[in-house]
A and B are shown apart, each in its own frame.
Chain A
Amino acid sequence: MYPGDLVYHKEHEWVRVEGDVAVIGISHFAQDQLGEVVYVDLPSTGDAVTADETFGEIESVKSVSELYSPVSGEIVEVNDALSDTPETVNADPYGDGWMIKVKMSDASEIDALMSAGDYEAFVNE
């Protein structure tokens, strides 16, 4: 449910650190709460993101949720495939359902995020 190699944000985004780049998506818990994802509104490559601020929106049939960036930096890649197949977020939230890659401006922000164990405890509260 919550891979151990990832770190998690309280708004239910996960981060996979690859060097100075953070790959960001939403957790299994988040996709399950949303239900069938029908649309993901993502920013563009080159845009700046700030930790704890929104970078996009995700929609199910009858809900809209904001997506929060766990880190600050510049977007270096966006998962454009989600515009045609948003359901990938449900099917593979930690793999093909990733959303953006951010070149981090402050790698220490990662330290503030939760481990898989802490996150699991957090969502079970």
Chain B
Amino acid sequence: MRYIPITCEQREAMLRAVGVSAIDELFDAVPDAVRLKRPLALPGPLTEIELSRHLASLAGHNAPATGLVCLAGAGCYDHYIPSVVDHVARRPEFFTAYTPYQPEVSQGTLQAIYEFQSMVCELTGMDVANASMYDGATAFAEAALMACRVTKRSKVLCAVSVHPAWRATLATYAAAASVEVVTSPAEETTGVSIVPGSSTLESLLAGDDVAAVLVQSPNVLGCIEDVAAAAAAAHAHGALAVVAADPVLLGVLEAPGELGADIVVGEGQPLGNAMSFGGPGLGLFACREEFVRQMPGRLAGRTVDVDGAPAFVLTLSTREQHIRREKATSNICSNHGLNALVAGVYLAAVGRSGLQSIARDAVQKACYLKGRLIETGRFAPVTSAPYAREFALRYDGDVERMRSEMLERGYLAGVGLAELCAGSGRPAVLSDQDSVVLFAVTEKRTREELDAFVREVSSL
């Protein structure tokens, strides 16, 4: 049998050892009333050759972004993945291991987590980072819940310019936990939610009952928010500042920790993880040291063994569900360990200066494309605030039709803002967003590709 190495003869011997004469007797405890009396209605088994052919055929029915000129982002980015990354991730000692509960035989995973935590701290400017969350959205929602625990308040203020799926996830988590979410509007002309000295923000915080100000920078429109102003406003009213950041762009953007953030979260997919239709992602989660005992998720720490040799172990576990049960800081158990390993390898592979160049390249090419698209006369600027890798433009035609037509020409032409918000159940980012497209540019795009795209799209 496929994947079962026991022979028929061995099976008979095992049955005899157990003291039964047939397999069915093993299931005597299953009441007859709940026994399935027919085979499962599933397609028949496939040999490896058949399976391989079938999967290749399914894969072939996609036109993946990596085979196109990808200008789509909106939370998932087409950065180059260095070759070493997957070679490390395919080491079976890493990917066939369980969570490192037995540290003596899990030093590889544990040290890799410790290094990953250190890298996330470096990127974000925070004191501690955990071993990962599921993705950016769940990290964001958990940060809001954590801020409620820290401040003992049950209301959070979320900028409307945060990715709609993240806001939607926050809303789902908050509803279950009876946390109220108030949305602060965006300034339509600049594209940012945080405007220093704005009376809107002040009035929303005036009750001193807000646990956290939640802001994303760059936000969903690609614009850089005034994180320092958000943090100052939060702190003035006893709230924490929760900042969602992009780890690649932190190569050139100021670390949120330097700007007053208390909790920094992010989507770690751009750090060497395949887009993979958006999952698995990688939730980044970092905070100030004073809040570490309210953190969700696992933490690896450095200690010594009985012989005094340096070694790593999961620590501060009393926060977690397997010990604190209903009082745990979260129910998270399995996280995205392998994606965290990948992120660590990626950051080591590109290095300090490499990350800076990748981020710089993306920002500069985005600026170039934005300018060229506006020149065509088919696109108009939407926002005026500084932006990084992504930007929003208003198109003078039907966005989804443009995307379809460009797909046929080999381009993934951005993401429609309306489509991105559809089904999120959350307030729209902009009052008139139907014709708004978000374009993202990574270091993978060449000037030639961008020029060709501009030519093609303007010819529609």
The count of residues in chain B whose C-beta lies closer than 8 Å to any C-beta of chain A is: 5
Residues of chain B lying within 8 A (CB to CB) of residue A39: 318
Q: Which of B304-331 contact A (CB under 8 A)?
A: 317-318, 323-324, 327
Q: Which of B317, B318, B323, B327 has the most CB of A within 10 A?
A: B318
**CA–CA, A59 to B316, complex, Å?**
10
Q: Which of A39, A59, A62, A63 has the most CB of B within 10 A?
A: A59
Q: Which of B400-433 contact A (CB under 8 A)?
A: none
Nearest 5 A/B pairs, CB to CB: A59-B318, A64-B318, A64-B324, A62-B323, A64-B323
13 pairs across A/B with beta carbons < 8 Å?
A: A39-B318, A59-B318, A61-B317, A61-B318, A62-B317, A62-B318, A62-B323, A63-B318, A63-B323, A64-B318, A64-B323, A64-B324, A64-B327
**CA–CA, A61 to B318, complex, Å?**
7
**CA–CA, A61 to B303, complex, Å?**
13
Beyond A59-B318, A63-B323, 11 additional contacts (C-beta under 8 Å) are: A39-B318, A61-B317, A61-B318, A62-B317, A62-B318, A62-B323, A63-B318, A64-B318, A64-B323, A64-B324, A64-B327
Residues of chain A lying within 8 A (CB to CB) of residue B323: 62-64
**What 1/0 flags go to B311-355 for Cβ under 8 Å of A?**
000000110000110010000000000000000000000000000
Q: Which of A25-82 contact B (CB under 8 A)?
A: 39, 59, 61-64
The count of residues in chain A whose C-beta lies closer than 8 Å to any C-beta of chain B is: 6
Residues of chain B lying within 8 A (CB to CB) of residue A62: 317-318, 323
Residues of chain A lying within 8 A (CB to CB) of residue B317: 61-62
Interface of A is mostly: strand
**CA–CA, A59 to B318, complex, Å?**
7
The residue of chain B having its C-beta at the shortest distance from the C-beta of A59 within the complex is B318
Residues of chain B lying within 8 A (CB to CB) of residue A61: 317-318
Residues of chain A lying within 8 A (CB to CB) of residue B324: 64
**CA–CA, A30 to B318, complex, Å?**
18
Min CB–CB distance B72 → chain A (angstroms): 46
**CA–CA, A61 to B327, complex, Å?**
16
Min CB–CB distance A36 → chain B (angstroms): 12
**CA–CA, A64 to B317, complex, Å?**
10
Residues of chain B lying within 8 A (CB to CB) of residue A63: 318, 323
The residue of chain B having its C-beta at the shortest distance from the C-beta of A61 within the complex is B317
Min CB–CB distance A34 → chain B (angstroms): 11
The residue of chain B having its C-beta at the shortest distance from the C-beta of A63 within the complex is B323
The residue of chain A having its C-beta at the shortest distance from the C-beta of B319 within the complex is A64
**CA–CA, A81 to B296, complex, Å?**
27
The residue of chain A having its C-beta at the shortest distance from the C-beta of B325 within the complex is A64
Min CB–CB distance B100 → chain A (angstroms): 15
Residues of chain B lying within 8 A (CB to CB) of residue A64: 318, 323-324, 327
**CA–CA, A19 to B324, complex, Å?**
37
Residues of chain A lying within 8 A (CB to CB) of residue B327: 64
**CA–CA, A39 to B323, complex, Å?**
15
Min CB–CB distance B368 → chain A (angstroms): 53
**CA–CA, A63 to B323, complex, Å?**
6
**CA–CA, A99 to B354, complex, Å?**
52
**CA–CA, A96 to B369, complex, Å?**
68
The residue of chain B having its C-beta at the shortest distance from the C-beta of A60 within the complex is B318
**CA–CA, A83 to B45, complex, Å?**
60
**CA–CA, A44 to B174, complex, Å?**
30
The residue of chain A having its C-beta at the shortest distance from the C-beta of B315 within the complex is A61
Min CB–CB distance A32 → chain B (angstroms): 19
Residues of chain A lying within 8 A (CB to CB) of residue B318: 39, 59, 61-64
Min CB–CB distance B67 → chain A (angstroms): 49
**CA–CA, A63 to B327, complex, Å?**
12
**CA–CA, A91 to B328, complex, Å?**
29
